[in-house]
Amino acid sequence: MDLPLRTVLSQCGDEISDPEEDAFLVFSQDIPSHALGIVDPKSSTLDISVAGRDFTIQQSLGLLTSNRSQGSTGAVVWKVTPLFAQYVAAQESLLWKSNALTASSTVLELGCGVAGIVPLALAPHIGRYIATDQDYVLKLLRQNIAENWSTADSSTRQSGSKRTKAADVSAARIETATLDWESDSVEGLFHQLNLAKGSGASHGGVDAVVACDCIYNEALVEPFVNTCAEVCAQRAHFEGAPPTYCIIAQQLRTYEVFERWLVTFHKRFRVWKIPDEHLSKELRENSGFIVHIGVLR
């Protein structure tokens, strides 16, 4: 394990050794109700401020209320997303101070949804951001990124007449790709993204995986964890490369789903809960949200 990652983990206290006990302790705290957790289920347009920047995000309420069999949760903005975006982009956070995130980092997001808030907040500060989800979210995701990029990147703040230039910059800094946890090949995606061994990538793979509010359905826990593990395992093909780590933020909804995720994740990953002293107050204990970091076993 490389020094920056060791530094982060050393500040996270004890590694989780008993996921069942840890899940019980998490749900023993006072957990405020955030209802389902959607920021605004009635508005097609949201004005959201993250890290001092104002974004206008388009949601798809029609898709949310559809009977699409593969799910529709990615059609709207969930409450933990802007909080996590602000946290992960903050230059004074543990990840940045330890150099686990740097200006050259490559980050891949799982289950990004249509909003693009995390990539809009983080991408201006790193080398490469790859936002993935099922195909149905990507059109609106790209629209939200293009329309908000000049606000996200202070170096490209400009008038509406120059929006095309801003969209071109966003296309270069934020890539979007289809990745269905139940059916798509991570290895195939990495070849497509020029991140696989033999493709010319320097370290190969990605430096970090981020996922925000992807744990809500017990049936998806195992595919989600398997995808996290497959993404992280790509780094193992590159001798001397630092390991990929996962940062996972979620709303605490039901004990059963959370425990199932933590037990399943713990089988594949060494896991730490990021402690309150290294989180923004909105993500700390008793907030109803929680953030973990995991490193593949």
Identify the bridge partners of residue 296 per DSSP, sorted by sequence position. 269
3-class state of residue 265 by DSSP: helix
Smallest CA-to-CA distance from 289 within 123, 145, 281 is with: 281
Supply 205's token pair.
Answer: 């793979």
Q: Residue 55: phi, psi to the nearest 5?
A: -120, 145
Question: What whole-number distance in Å separates Cα of residue 127 and Cα of residue 103?
Answer: 6
Let me know how long the chain is: 297
At position 156, the amino acid (one-letter code) is T
Q: What pLDDT is stored for residue 197 in this prediction? A: 84
Whole-number Cα distances in Å, 62 to 9, 58, 105, 143: 42, 12, 36, 17
Q: Residue 128: phi, psi to the nearest 5?
A: -155, 135
CATH code where residue 47 lies? 3.40.50.150
Number of domains in the chain: 1
Q: Residue 107: phi, psi to the nearest 5?
A: -120, 135
This prediction has a pTM of 0.90
At position 237, the amino acid (one-letter code) is H
Question: What whole-number distance in Å separates Cα of residue 106 and Cα of residue 138?
Answer: 20
pLDDT digits (tens), the chain, 297 positions: 789 999 999 999 999 999 999 999 999 988 987 777 899 988 999 999 998 899 999 998 876 655 655 556 778 899 999 999 999 999 999 999 999 999 999 999 999 999 999 999 999 999 999 999 999 899 999 999 999 987 776 544 444 444 444 444 444 579 999 999 999 999 999 999 999 887 766 678 999 999 999 999 999 999 999 999 999 999 988 888 899 999 999 999 999 999 999 999 999 999 999 999 999 999 999 999 999 999 999
Torsion angle defined by CA atoms of residues 110, 111, 115 and 120, in that order, rounded to the nearest 10 degrees: 0
DSSP conformational letter for 288: S
Question: What whole-number distance in Å separates Cα of residue 138 and Cα of residue 167?
Answer: 15
Expressed as residue numbers, the domain containing 157 is: 3-296
Burial of residue 164 (CB within 10 Å: 0-12, 13-18, 19+) is: exposed
Q: How many CB atoms lie within 10 A of CB 182?
A: 13
Q: How many CB atoms lie within 10 A of CB 277?
A: 10
Q: What pLDDT is stored for residue 166 in this prediction? A: 43
| Pairing label, strands 245-251, 289-296 | antiparallel
Q: What pLDDT is stored for residue 155 in this prediction? A: 45
Block residue for tokens 């982060």: 8
